[in-house]
Amino acid sequence: MDITRNVLNLKENPLLFYSLFLGTQLFGVALNLGLITITVFKVTTADLAFGWQTTLQLGTEKLYSLTKIVALPWSWLLPKSIAYPSLESIEGTRIILKEGIHYLATENLISWWPFLLLSLVIYGLLPRLILALGALLLEKLKISRYPNAPNFLRITARMQTPVVSTQAPPPNQTNNFTDTNFLSLPNQQAGSHTPTGVATLLIPVDLKPAPNPQIVERYLQSQGYVTERTLPIFQNYDSDQKILRSLSSLEGLIIVAIEAWMAPITEQLKFIESICDAKKSTFPIGILFLGRPITAESIEPPRQQDVLMWQEKIAQKNRDVLYFTPQKNGEYNQP
């Protein structure tokens, strides 16, 4: 649910925004090209007369000054006779309804079309081309960076994680666990369940912002465990399998950091179940519940209802699980 919401959210997924923005600009480019083509076609195949009139108190000199300002982007490159109409041409194309147009000269009536055509190119077509090119470049830049984005890693992990396993569990092992096989102890007693007091911390790569490892280690030390190593998980299926294969040779407690504020998903629960299988009940595994992160310099306590939901899901398949729930304003957050 959270992944789908993020994909459809323009703020969380800029690729969708750039695609929509690029499509809009390409439509504007096509529209302006059509207008320019029609204008050139009409000028070359028909006898068009261009004139002007207005109900405003706008004199010829004011209109001439306005056309000079509008023509600034191209007037330095083209002759004045083409860049914009002269003062005489503007005066000679003013239409007065009661007098008609029979008194207007042809050379004045055709003086407007280069100015109008260049206005379409500079103010209509060119900005759309620039915006479309910018959107295309930003979209390509985002695409090149997206494979390392947290949302992408989360989606690819779900797509690459097998839903069905073809391997049967060992004969002496069963998945039909009951509540009597489920171990949940207070945090202050957690350290008494391993003779070495060392732990391996498995932390998701897509935590954002990622908590400072020293703060997490300080918290685990307050619970009686010294973090011997920290390994990233949920990066991709192959890396997770490599970590699972190495767990059987590791001593001490395996602690998995979980974003408790997110709903449990299948690959996370199967990963925890695989850790239990890899350890073969030599030691219980630990679940470190993390609340929604605020800064990298603190670990936030999770909500009680989130913890209960995770505990219920984990208890259905796993046994010998220790829970670690940070408390608010703990000493481990202090520098």
Flag whether pLDDT at 145 surpasses 80: no
Query: What number is the average pLDDT over the span 308-332?
Result: 76
Whether the pTM exceeds 0.75: the reply is: no
What are the angstrom distances between the C-alpha of 268 and each of 9, 137, 195? 24, 36, 28
What residues contact 310, with CB distance under 8 A and at least 6 apart?
258, 260, 264, 287, 289
Query: What number is the average pLDDT over the span 27-53?
Result: 88
Chain position carrying tokens 């050139």: 40
Q: Is residue 158 part of a domain?
A: no
193 and 325 together in one domain? yes
Give the CATH number of the domain where residue 192 resides: 3.40.50
186 and 328 together in one domain? yes
Ramachandran angles phi, psi of 324, nearest 5°? -120, 120
Q: Is residue 161 part of a domain?
A: no
Residue 301: asked if its preceding bond is cis (omega within 30°), the reply is no
Q: Which amino acid is at 181?
A: N
Query: What number is the average pLDDT over the span 279-294?
Result: 74
Flag whether pLDDT at 184 surpasses 70: no
Question: 315 or 334: which carries more pLDDT confidence?
Answer: 315
What Rg do the C-alpha atoms of the chain give, in angstroms? 35
The number of domains in the chain is 2
What are the angstrom distances between the C-alpha of 183 and each of 202, 216, 259, 316? 20, 23, 21, 12
Q: Which amino acid is at 12?
A: E
Q: Is residue 163 part of a domain?
A: no
Buried b (16+ CB within 10 A) or exposed e, 191-204: bebbeebebbbbbb
- Tell me the per-residue pLDDT of 90-136, one tens digit each, with 9 for 90 and over: 888 788 776 766 677 777 778 888 899 999 999 999 999 999 999 89
199 and 249 together in one domain? yes
Which of 125, 147, 169 lies at the terminal end of a domain, its last residue? 147
- Cβ–Cβ contacts within 10 Å for residue 83, how many? 19
262 and 324 together in one domain? yes
How does DSSP classify residue 107? H
To the nearest 10 degrees (0 to 180), the angle between helices 150-160 and 237-247 is: 70
25 and 66 together in one domain? yes
Flag whether pLDDT at 52 surpasses 70: yes
Flag whether pLDDT at 183 surpasses 80: no
228 and 115 together in one domain? no
Q: Is residue 259 part of a domain?
A: yes
What was the pLDDT predicted at 28? 93
Query: What number is the average pLDDT over the span 63-67?
Result: 89
Query: What number is the average pLDDT over the span 315-328?
Result: 76
What range does the domain containing 97 cover?
Answer: 2-147
Flag whether pLDDT at 205 surpasses 90: no
118 and 38 together in one domain? yes
- Nearest residue to 154 (alpha-carbon basis) of 232, 255, 236: 236
Flag whether pLDDT at 34 surpasses 90: yes
What was the pLDDT predicted at 287? 87
Q: Which amino acid is at 265?
A: I
Q: Is residue 76 part of a domain?
A: yes
- Tell me the per-residue pLDDT of 17-30, one tens digit each, with 9 for 90 and over: 888 888 999 999 99
What are the angstrom distances between the C-alpha of 43 and each of 29, 53, 91, 257? 21, 21, 22, 72
Residue 319 pLDDT level (bands cut at 50, 70, 90): low
**What is the SS3 assignment for 5?**
helix
Residue 193 pLDDT level (bands cut at 50, 70, 90): very low
Question: 260 or 161: which carries more pLDDT confidence?
Answer: 260
